[in-house]
């Protein structure tokens, strides 16, 4: 039995797309334009929804011939808005037409859209080595650079997340997990022994940096300072998994389950992940824990995961910790001291927002960035 990326699931259409298209380098301008339109149409929806409408899109958009799409007028827009076989969203339809026009301009400057778009990865696929779905990013420095330049050139619906999905689909990056049969077929070479040695080396380097920092702190005779602010947090639609875990470190396994479930359904996060600690008293084991990821639309419940509305909080005391999770105690101590000193008390579950975390970007724990949020009220 072939091993596939977890997101491929069992839907024949999804499996076929995974096995024959996803991650295959594309250098045809028409097909590159097709993926650009489809990725834009997918925004806020699941990818399987778009795949099921793909043939309808090809018929409706003249098989994605940018020369023809660029000439669409308001009458054609009205026809597309009346077409039940595609996503009938005016902004997305108008963006597809504008993107065709912008693509023609790029072709005039670079000779082809292919020559332009592949420059963001140096003209050849970037080969990653993810061992789990949870490691795969929603965006990267390359996708952010691509998004910024596309927007400057007049393209629409080309945010960093959409651009990274486009890079994955068109083979600019190989994001198949290393256990997937397509990983090696598309040029991936993963040496497990070398990878373990690399991880050991990185961990040793991290420990060396921690020891150096501790020596510096001893010399300064003080611990890092933390700025605390009070802010209002708005409600959010999130995918949620809540259960009691034996120890705090098991939260990583919860996130892996959550991201795998989202990947299998083609749902992409629209914000940073978050852990919520529901226990009202400090505990070191058997913790009531919830992990959530912001999403654009509700998804079917399953495997303990469901869509919920994360409540807003009128007064949230927040501080940002930069560094590995081992240093959380310092941030928590500073935050709790500030809360007491300023006449507040804790009024709800504590949240940890992982603005930048483990795998794949960055891999150095000293560069992790986490915002700790504590609901508070005046005493």
What is the DSSP track for 333-353?
A: HHHHHHHHHTTEEE-S-EEEE
Catalytic residue, from 7, 14, 17, 338: name it.
17
Domain co-membership, 281 together with 208 = no
Is the residue at 1 inside a domain? Answer: no
Structure tokens at 379: 């005493």
Domain co-membership, 93 together with 145 = yes
Rounded Cα–Cα distance for residues 268 and 169 (Å): 14
- Residue 2 confidence class, pLDDT cut points 50, 70, 90: confident
List residues bridging with 343 in a β-sheet.
none
Output the CA torsion 13→16→20→26 (10° steps). Answer: 10
Is the residue at 190 inside a domain? Answer: no
What per-residue confidence (pLDDT) applies to 343? 86
Domain co-membership, 228 together with 322 = yes
> Is 21 an annotated catalytic residue?
no
Highest mean pLDDT (candidates 12-21, 208-217, 279-288, 297-306) = 12-21
Q: Based on the structure, what is the number of domains in the chain?
A: 3
> Is 47 an annotated catalytic residue?
yes
Query: Which of 88, 42, 97 is CA-nearest to residue 66?
Result: 97
Last residue of a domain, which of 133, 156, 185?
A: 185
Domain co-membership, 32 together with 122 = yes
pLDDT at residue 113 above 90?
Answer: yes
What per-residue confidence (pLDDT) applies to 54? 96
What per-residue confidence (pLDDT) applies to 361? 52
Domain co-membership, 152 together with 230 = no
Domain co-membership, 40 together with 151 = yes
**Average predicted confidence (pLDDT) for the chain:** 88
Q: Where does residue 331 rank: exposed (0-12), middle (13-18), buried (19+ CB within 10 A)?
A: buried
Catalytic residue, from 39, 139, 142, 290: name it.
39
pLDDT at residue 134 above 80?
Answer: yes
Domain co-membership, 18 together with 161 = yes
Is the residue at 121 inside a domain? Answer: yes
Q: Per-residue pLDDT tens for 32-67?
A: 999 999 999 988 788 999 999 999 999 999 999 999
Domain that holds residue 348: 224-378
Rounded Cα–Cα distance for residues 314 and 344 (Å): 13
> Is 17 an annotated catalytic residue?
yes
Section 60-77 average pLDDT: 97
Of residues 169 and 212, more confidently modeled: 169
Residue the block writes with tokens 């991201």: 259
Domain co-membership, 201 together with 153 = no
CATH number at 251 reads 3.20.80.10
Rounded Cα–Cα distance for residues 308 and 305 (Å): 9
pLDDT at residue 376 above 70?
Answer: yes
Q: 20 with 52: CB under 8 angstroms?
A: no
- Residue 278 confidence class, pLDDT cut points 50, 70, 90: very high
Domain co-membership, 229 together with 367 = yes
pLDDT at residue 244 above 50?
Answer: yes
Catalytic residue, from 22, 47, 164, 368: name it.
47
Contacts of 234 (CB under 8 A, 6+ apart): 312
- Residue 129 confidence class, pLDDT cut points 50, 70, 90: confident
What per-residue confidence (pLDDT) applies to 39? 93
Through-space distance between the first and last CA atoms of the chain, rounded to whole angstroms: 61
Last residue of a domain, which of 205, 222, 239?
A: 222
Domain co-membership, 313 together with 266 = yes
Structure tokens at 84: 């039940």
Output the CA torsion 160→8→85→28 (10° steps). Answer: 60
Domain co-membership, 366 together with 328 = yes
Domain co-membership, 202 together with 241 = no
356-359, Cβ contacts within 8 angstroms, sequence gap of 24 or more: 357/273, 358/135, 359/130, 359/132, 359/134, 359/135
What pTM, to 2 d.p., does this model score?
0.55
What per-residue confidence (pLDDT) applies to 206? 65
Q: Per-residue pLDDT tens for 315-352?
A: 999 999 888 877 777 888 788 888 888 888 889 999 99
Neighbours of 355 (CB within 10 A): 15
């Amino acid at each position: 039995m072939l091993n596939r990326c977890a997101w491929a699931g069992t839907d024949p259409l999804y499996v076929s797309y995974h096995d024959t298209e996803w991650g295959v380098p594309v250098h045809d301008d028409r097909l590159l334009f097709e993926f650009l339109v489809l990725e834009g149409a997918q925004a806020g929806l699941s990818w399987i929804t778009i795949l099921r409408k793909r043939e309808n899109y090809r018929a409706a958009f003249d098989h994605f011939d940018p020369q023809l799409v660029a000439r669409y007028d308001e009458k054609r827009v009205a026809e597309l808005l009346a077409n039940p076989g595609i996503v009938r969203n005016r902004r997305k339809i108008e963006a597809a037409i504008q993107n065709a026009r912008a693509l023609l301009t790029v072709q005039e400057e670079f000779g082809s859209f292919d020559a332009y778009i592949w420059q963001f990865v140096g003209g050849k696929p970037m080969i990653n080595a993810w061992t789990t779905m949870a490691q795969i990013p929603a965006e990267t420095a390359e996708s952010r650079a691509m998004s910024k330049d596309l927007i400057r050139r007049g393209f629409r619906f080309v945010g960093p997340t959409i651009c990274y999905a486009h890079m994955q689909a068109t083979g600019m990056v190989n994001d198949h997990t290393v256990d997937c049969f397509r990983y090696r077929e598309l040029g991936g070479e993963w040496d497990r022994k070398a990878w373990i040695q690399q991880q050991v080396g990185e961990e040793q380097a991290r420990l060396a940096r921690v020891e150096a920092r501790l020596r510096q702190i001893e010399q300064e005779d003080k611990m890092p300072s933390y700025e605390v602010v009070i802010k209002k947090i708005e409600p959010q639609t999130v995918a949620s998994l809540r259960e009691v875990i034996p120890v705090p470190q098991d939260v990583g396994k919860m996130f892996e389950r959550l991201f795998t479930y989202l990947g299998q359904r083609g749902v992409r996060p629209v914000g940073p992940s978050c852990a919520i600690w529901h226990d009202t008293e400090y505990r070191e084991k058997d913790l009531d824990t919830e992990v959530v990821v912001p999403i654009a639309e509700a998804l079917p419940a399953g495997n303990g995961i469901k869509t919920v509305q994360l409540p807003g909080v009128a007064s949230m005391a927040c501080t940002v910790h930069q560094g590995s999770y081992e240093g959380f105690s310092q941030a928590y101590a500073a935050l709790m001291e500030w809360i007491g000193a300023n006449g507040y008390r804790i009024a709800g579950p504590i949240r940890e927002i992982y603005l930048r975390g483990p795998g794949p970007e960055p891999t150095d724990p000293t560069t992790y960035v986490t915002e700790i949020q504590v609901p508070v009220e005046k005493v």
